[in-house]
Structure 1
Amino acid sequence: MSLIGQPVTIIGAGVAGLAAARALALRGAAVTVLEQADAIREVGAGLQISPNGAAVLRGLGLQEALDAASMRAEAVQLIDGPTGEGVTRLDLGRLRPGQGYHFLHRADLIELLLKGATEAGVTLRLLSRTTAVDVSGARPVITLETGERIETPLLIGADGLHSQTRAALNGPETPFFTRQVAWRAVIPCDPGASPVAEVHMGPGRHLVSYPLRNGTLRNIVAVEKREKWAEESWTLRDDAITLRIAFEGFSPRVRGWLDRVEDPWLWGLFRHQVAGAWVKPMGQGGVAILGDAAHPTLPFLAQGASMGLEDAWVLARMLATHDTPAAALAAYQSARKPRTTRIVAAANANARAYHLSGLPRMIGHTGLRLFGRFSPGTMVSRFDWLYDHDVTGDRS
Structure 2
Amino acid sequence: MRAQHPRIAILGGGIGGLAASAFLYREGMSATVYEQASELKEIGAGLVVAPNAARLLRRLGVMDGLAERAVRLDTGWEFRRWEDGTVLSAEDLASSCEELYGEHTYTAHRADLLAALRSAVPGDVRLGKRCVGITVGDGGLPVLRFADGETTEPDIVIGADGIHSVVRGAVTEPSPAVYSGYCAFRALVPSERAPAFARRPAQTLWIGPGHHLVHYPVSAGRFVNLVAFAPAGDDVVESWTATATVREFLAEFATWDARLTDLIQAAGTPGRWALLDRAPLRRWTRGPVTLLGDAAHPMFPFFAQGAAQAIEDAAVLARCVADRPGDPLGALRRYERLRIPRTTRLQEASHARASVNHLPDGPEQQARDASFADADPLKANAWIYAYDPEHALAETSA
For normalisation by structure 1, the TM-score amounts to 0.91
- Contact 1:44–1:185 under 8 Å retained in 2: no
1:198 to 204, 211, 233: 204
Residue 229 (structure 1) shift: 5.5
For 2:359, the aligned partner's letter is L
- The answer for the alignment partner of 1:231 in structure 2 is 237
Residue 110 of structure 1 aligns with which residue? 114
Alignment partner of 1:220 is 2:226:
yes
Give distance in 1, aligned partners of 2:214 and 2:4: 44
Aligned to 2:62: 62
Aligned-partner residue type, residue 309 of structure 1:
I
Q: Deviations over 1:331-355 (max 9, x none)?
A: 1000000000000111012111110
1:6 equivalent in alignment to 2:9: no
Look up the SS of the partner of 2:152 in the other structure. strand
SS across alignment from 1:37: coil
Distance 1:4 1:39, change over 3 A: farther
Instruction: Judge conservation of contact 2:155–2:328 (CA < 8 Å) in 1.
Output: no
Structure 1 residue 182, shift from structure 2 partner: 0.4
Question: Are 2:68 and 2:220, in contact at CA under 8 Å, matched by a contact in 1?
Answer: no
Query: Is 1:337 aligned with 2:335?
Result: no
**1:59 touches 1:392 (CA, 8 Å); kept in 2?**
no
Encode CA deviations 1:93-141: one digit per residue, 9 max, x unaligned.
23333432110000000111112112xxx10111111112223642111
Q: Which amino acid aligns with 1:365?
A: D
The offset of 1:363, in angstroms, is 2.0
Q: 1:48 Cα shift?
A: 0.5
CA 1:87 to 1:28, structure 2 compared with 1: closer, same or farther past 3 Å?
same
Distance 2:347 2:219 in 1: 28
In the aligned structure 1, how far is the partner of 2:348 from the partner of 2:281? 14
Deviations 1:177-215 (A, max 9, x none): 221100111011248732100101110001000001221
In the alignment, which residue of structure 1 is the partner of 2:188?
186
Distance in structure 2 (CA, Å) of the matches to 1:252 and 1:235: 28
2:73 aligned partner:
73
Match of 1:156 in 2: 158
- Any idea what the Cα deviations from partners look like across 1:220-240, whole Å, max 9, x if unmatched? 011002453632222222222
Structure 1 residues 29, 6: closer, same or farther in 2, change over 3 A? farther
**Which has the higher mean CA deviation after the structures are superposed, 105-114 or 60-69?**
60-69
Aligned with 1:380 (options 365, 378, 381): 378
1:33-88 residue CA offsets vs partner (Å, 9 max, x unmatched)? 11111111111100011111111111212222222221111112110111122111
Other-structure match for 2:307: 305
Amino acid at match of 1:361: Q
Alpha-carbon distance, 1:319 to partner = 0.5
Structure 2 counterpart of 1:342, which letter?
Answer: R
- Superposed, 1:240-259 pairs within 5 Å as 240-259=246-265
In 1, the alpha carbon distance for the partners of 2:313 and 2:81 equals 35
Q: Specify the code of the residue in structure 2 equivalent to 1:64.
A: D
Stretch of structure 1 that moved more, 35-44 or 190-199 = 190-199
Which residue of 1 is the match for residue 89 of structure 2? 88
Q: Check if 1:52 corresponds to 2:58.
A: no
* Shift in Å, 1:144: 0.9
* Structure 1 position 29, deviation (Å): 2.1
**CA offset at residue 385 of structure 1?**
0.6
Q: In the alignment, does 2:217 pair up with 1:211?
A: yes
User: What CA distance in whole angstroms lies between the structure 1 residues aligned with 2:11 and 2:180?
Assistant: 28
Deviation for aligned residue 1:26? 2.4
Deviation at 1:175, TM superposition (A): 2.5
| Consecutive unaligned residues in structure 2, runs of 5 or more | 393-398
* 1:159 CA drift (Å): 0.4
Which of 315, 326, 329 pairs up with 1:326? 329
Q: 1:154 and 1:235 mapped to 2: Cα distance?
A: 32
Count of aligned pairs between the two proteins = 381
TM-score (ref. length: structure 2)? 0.91
Q: Distance in 1 between matches of 2:241 and 2:74?
A: 31
Q: Could you say what secondary structure the match of 1:161 adopts? A: coil
Question: Matches of 1:2 and 1:385 in 2, distance apart?
Answer: 40
State how far apart, in whole Å, the 1-side matches of 2:380 and 2:55 are.
20
RMSD: 2.0
Alpha-carbon separation, structure 2, partners of 1:200 and 1:217: 19
Structure 1 residues without counterparts, runs of 5 or longer: none
Tell me the distance in 2 between the aligned counterparts of 1:270 and 1:30: 33
Q: 1:348 aligns with which of 346, 351, 363?
A: 351
Aligned AA for 1:241? R
| Matched-pair contact (CA < 8 Å) for 2:75–2:203 | yes
Say if 1:2 and 1:53 are closer, same or farther in 2 by CA, change over 3 A: farther
